[in-house]
Chains A and B, each alone.
Chain A
Amino acid sequence: MARSAAGVGNAWQALRLNPLALLRSPWPWRSFVYLLVGFPVGFAWLTATATALGLGLVAAPLGIGLPLLASAALSGVALAAVERRRLRLVDPLPAPSPHRAPDDPGPWPWLTCRLREGATWVELACAPLLCVLGLLDFALAVMLLALVLGLLSAPLQALLLPHAHQNAAWQQILQDGRSLFAVWLVGLWAALGTTYLVTAWAGLRGALSRRLLVRPPRSELRTRIVELTRSRARIVGAYEAERRQIERDLHDGVQQQLTALIMTIGLAEAELAEGPPAAGRLVSRAHREATQALQELRALVHGIVPALLADRGLGPAVAAIAERSPVPIHLDVDLPGRLPDTVESAAYFFVCEGLTNVAKHSRAAQASVTLRQLGGGLLVEIRDDGVGGASASASGGLVGLADRVSALGGVVHLSSPPGGPSVLQAQIPCGS
């Protein structure tokens, strides 16, 4: 046997089997039943729906018509549910309903939920098609069955009812032993062909039903993920814009006022140089305190958005941190110009954290920072020749930055085998 029944998961896949294996598998029989059952189901649906619709239209003025019309509208849902169950005959993979669960329990939420769903109306539109196809399935299955049975049973007919047949040609065949054998052989081939044909037809029908009535795998989840990803990127964007606004506000507001205050105190100090020493000391103290406040404010503003990053962009800002690193840094920057603020900030703080870790833990003698355009995004890479063994979880800062990168749709990768070298990478898409 060339192929076994293993690995065959539905009627369509069963077509790969050789004739013996196919006949011994359940698929032809399941397919046959599948094709036969569709018609009664469709017929029942048609009758019930037509009745509900007719009665509903007639009784609409009486009030009782509305529930009937609603049930006619929802009849597609019922038929689709039956069809999905029936589908298991030829395709046992899970066939989840495309409907979503109502928000609240009870019949009324269920009803309003269903009536508002697109899937309900798709199913209603598909229902007549399913009925017509059900009839076609049924006719095909019955005709093929009749043909095969008629041919195969020729010898039996000749034996039991040698003269009963009306058809003269058939009568002749039945009376001749050789042609009888030939007919029986044709019947055998027809049986085989029918087996494949029925299985194939049922497989195709199953695929159609799946396409029309079954929720595509993870489609809803995917839509939600796309939406969540977008909204997360928007939030990060808004957050970044807000940070920059705060930086600007502090710079234009408090920082300038404090500076002006220091100037005024400075003037007072100069005026008091020959005045009472106690007043001079107090003013000097005020001067020191105001200067201290300004320094702290400056450090705070720098932590929000370093001025060089805001003014000049990622390349110069990273060059400045590399300049201050205790480990010598080789810079490889190839950027076309300014990138979106969110990307620049995420990449900047990523490099800061990366270099801090290199300085603290790696015991590296040399490190490199690479910034370059990659596809539609930015590649950030920090490489060192240190002892390795770094882990992302060991650095809390890195986890937060990885989150920030991933919120922009990027990925972070850390490779740090014991003995080194360590490579920390971030790829950040640049949006538009």
Chain B
Amino acid sequence: MRVVIAEDSVLLREGLAEILARRDHEVAAAVSDVPGLLASVDAHLPDVVIVDVRLPPGYRDEGLQAAVKLHRDRPEVGILVLSQYVEQTYATELLEVATSGIGYLLKDRVGDVVEFLDALEKVAGGGVVIDPEVVRQLLARGSHHPIDQLTPREREVLALMAEGRSNVAIARRLVVTPAAVIKHVGNIFGKLGLEPAEEDHRRVLAVLAYLKGPTR
């Protein structure tokens, strides 16, 4: 993969570059701000960019805004947004503009090198990856929600679905048969009143869209 990194901390920028280089990915550019990111994307046409939410000058959500703009301009470039914290609000905002090639993960997920690169590849390939923490925040909600009808195992499956995993991957992770996972997914869609969809990321979108809820 050809990757562009936008991260203002030198330490993390170099850490990310090293991880990618060791796994034989090409780091086309590692920049520290939004203008640098946009210029590098134009210059190198990467498969995927990794962008920090907080970037100069304001250190607020410049990275997120840049991701939204980048997706509008170049929908073919995958965007993985990294952050020190995850907010469901930000996840929803990203998914409102980007229905493919988008990811939103906590920074410490990078430490699980294999899974991180897996997620990065998924995003580069047009998939959607949402941090399980976002799903955890959603699941922590109240008793008035149909989400409560889910069994603990179904919740686990839902969280893994949100991460963009396939049924086979979920089965491997939970050490159950793929058939069992398919049954769980069917139950989840049934309890939440959702039609099962074809692609992985559509499942995530559907789940998140439902969880966000139009009622409130």
B39 part of interface (Cβ distance < 8 Å): no
> Chain B residues near A322 (CB, 8 Å)?
216
> Chain A residues near B88 (CB, 8 Å)?
320, 323
Chain B 42-66: CB-based contact to A (< 8 A → 1; otherwise 0): 0000000000001000011100000
A312 part of interface (Cβ distance < 8 Å): yes
- Nearest to A359 among chain B residues (CB) is B142
Contact A256 B9 (CB under 8 A): yes
Nearest Cβ on chain B to A210's Cβ, whole angstroms: 58
A324 part of interface (Cβ distance < 8 Å): yes
- Nearest to A291 among chain B residues (CB) is B108
- The residue from A265, A290, A294, A324 contacting B140, defined by CB atoms under 8 A apart: A324
Stretch at the interface among A90-98, A165-173, A221-229, A247-255: A247-255
A26 part of interface (Cβ distance < 8 Å): no
A18 part of interface (Cβ distance < 8 Å): no
- The residue from A263, A308, A325 contacting B19, defined by CB atoms under 8 A apart: A263
> Chain A residues near B150 (CB, 8 Å)?
none
Contact A269 B113 (CB under 8 A): yes
> Chain B residues near A257 (CB, 8 Å)?
11
> Chain A residues near B18 (CB, 8 Å)?
263, 267
Contact A251 B60 (CB under 8 A): no
Nearest Cβ on chain A to B142's Cβ, whole angstroms: 3
Q: Assuming A266-B19, A310-B60, is B137 touching A324 (CB within 8 A)?
A: yes
Contact A320 B11 (CB under 8 A): no
B144 part of interface (Cβ distance < 8 Å): yes
Contact A308 B87 (CB under 8 A): yes
Chain A residues 324 to 338 lying within 8 A of chain B, measured CB to CB, are: 324-331
Q: Assuming A311-B60, A326-B144, is B112 touching A259 (CB within 8 A)?
A: no
Contact A270 B84 (CB under 8 A): no
Nearest Cβ on chain A to B143's Cβ, whole angstroms: 6
Chain B residues engaging chain A, CB cutoff 8 angstroms: 9, 11-12, 15-16, 18-19, 22, 54, 59-61, 84-85, 87-89, 107-108, 110-114, 116, 137, 140-144, 216
Can you sample 30 A-B contacts with CB below 8 Å?
A: A255-B84, A259-B15, A259-B84, A259-B108, A260-B9, A260-B12, A263-B15, A263-B16, A263-B111, A264-B15, A266-B112, A266-B113, A269-B111, A291-B108, A298-B84, A298-B85, A301-B84, A301-B85, A308-B87, A308-B89, A310-B60, A312-B60, A320-B87, A323-B88, A324-B140, A324-B142, A326-B142, A328-B144, A329-B216, A330-B216
Q: A263-B18, A266-B113, A287-B111 are known contacts; what are 15 more A-B pairs with Cβ within 8 Å?
A: A252-B9, A255-B84, A256-B11, A259-B12, A259-B108, A259-B110, A260-B12, A263-B110, A267-B19, A290-B111, A291-B108, A308-B89, A312-B61, A322-B216, A323-B216
Chain A residues engaging chain B, CB cutoff 8 angstroms: 248, 251-252, 255-257, 259-260, 262-267, 269-270, 287, 290-291, 294-295, 298, 301-302, 307-308, 310-312, 316, 319-320, 322-331, 359
